[in-house]
Amino acid sequence: MKKLYIKTYGCQMNVYDSARMADLLAPLGFTPVDDAASADMVILNTCHIREKAAEKVYSELGRLKKLKERRPMLIAVAGCVAQAEGAEMIARQPAVDIVVGPQSYHRLPEMIAQIARGTGHALETDFPARDKFDALPEEAAPQGVIAFLTVQEGCDKFCTFCVVPYTRGAEYSRPVTDIEDEARRLVDSGAREITLLGQNVNAYRGLGPDGKRWSLAQLIRHLARLEDLARLRYTTSHPRDMTNDLIAAHADEPKLMPFLHLPVQSGSNGILAAMNRNHTADEYLHLVERIRAANPDVALSSDFIVGFPGETEADFAATLSLVREVKFSQAFSFKYSPRPGTPAATMKQVPEPVKKERLAILQAVLTEQQRAFNRACEGRMMPVLFESEGRKRGQATGRSPYLQPVHVESASHLIGEISEVRIETVLTNSLRGSLAQSHAARPAQNEARAL
């Protein structure tokens, strides 16, 4: 038995890819372990989205090199840094054996064989997204109660700050039947909730069994028919691709959870244009109105970038005003990080102290909104899907419909079930509650209506 350690950085799509790499290497005798020290092979599945994310990889490689000096170890770098840097990685850190991009990791077995033949380093950074999904094994380790499934990859939008179109390649949507088969396997191995993943998941246009291109809404309604699947989510969406049928699904598909991550990045029209987001602040606000008109219960989340090149005090004030108007249930915010090869990297930069100050101001507002959202949950009954055991004996942790972690005592026997929980204590990032009188799981169909 050989030991495989995979360290994952970045987004959920990397988490999915890491699981698939483990599935791919299982037939070669590799068993996953959770630390590098004893591993025969280490894969760093990397993220290139911000400078810090990429730098972490090189410091981790430095640590691995020391381990490799003591015992034989195969070191592979996968993911978006591998794609962006390619052969540069081996030049900068010769302890690296394999560099493999996010669309070519299905070639890992060949690459390992190549190294074993003593041919030196192995490098694959092609973009055959279709080949990858066709080549990945059907056999997959169970993901548990909450599972992720990549349905769409790549991006054609070219926001001026973003590396994703360069690291993940062009948009590609997997065919409906492949997704359905994978979803069924996940459900058979215990998944009750599936999050459909894509860099632009709502731009999904996969081939349907009828030979036509299906939208994400069609795919969601189709998967919702899987009986034992109780909940569906999707991430990440672009405001431009929030079509009417997807908004309608939030109104009448009970298995689709009332939570939507819809990044806006900025509230200033000038900055949105410079970012190439292709919509205005008002268009975003109008979209939010339409979503809430369809289903007032939908909680919204977003991503923000502060200090994008040229961002003035007035631009930043416009972002704060958009935030105050929407009221997000949670959000992520980042300082703009210039990325090599992207158009914004060569524009006039905002000084670091200004970025830092704006980030602190924005985060204070967003944290307060998250607290307010959570506070409003106090005293409410909510259907919670229990996912794992908590820290204390008998405790279980689950997810609310709005993606909040919920901790409940004496509930560990309910893992995999959805139960009504009364929310009693509210923290910034999680909730605590107790089981309602009836401990029985509710039928999934009634879940959304019970809210």
Contact region for ligand SF4 (CB under 6 A) — 34-42, 64-72, 157-165, 246-254?
157-165
**Is the CB of 199 or the CB of 295 nearer to ligand SF4?**
199
The reply on whether position 332 binds ligand SF4 by CB under 6 A is no
Minimum CB–partner distance for residue 156 and ligand SF4 (Å)? 8
Q: Does 11 bind ligand F3S (CB under 6 A)?
A: yes
Which of residues 57 and 247 has its CB atom nearest to ligand F3S in the complex?
Answer: 57
Contact between 155 and ligand SF4 by CB under 6 A: the answer reads yes
Binding residue for ligand SAH, selected from 107, 132, 250, 339, defined by CB under 6 A: 339
- Least distance from C-beta 199 to ligand SAH, angstroms? 5
**Binds 220, which of ligand SAH, ligand SF4, ligand F3S, none (CB < 5 to 8 A, cut-off by type)?**
none
Distance of CA 341 to the CA centre of its chain: 24
Q: Which of 47, 196, 216, 226 binds ligand F3S (CB under 6 A)?
A: 47
Whichever of 10 and 239 has its CB closer to ligand F3S, that residue is: 10
Interactions with ligand SF4, residue window 189-218 (CB under 6 A): 199-200
Near ligand SAH in 34-53, by CB under 6 A: 49-50
In the complex with ligand F3S, which residue's Cβ is closer, 152 or 218? 152
80 in contact with ligand F3S (CB under 6 A): yes
Instruction: Count the residues of the shown chain that bind ligand SAH, applying the rule CB under 6 A.
Output: 17
Task: Choose the binding region for ligand F3S from 42-50, 112-120, 385-393, 396-404 (rule: CB under 6 A).
Answer: 42-50
Determine which residue in the list 218, 265, 400, 404 makes contact with ligand SAH, applying CB under 6 A: 265
Where does this chain bind ligand F3S (CB under 6 A)? 10-11, 13-14, 47-49, 79-80, 163-164, 167-168, 199
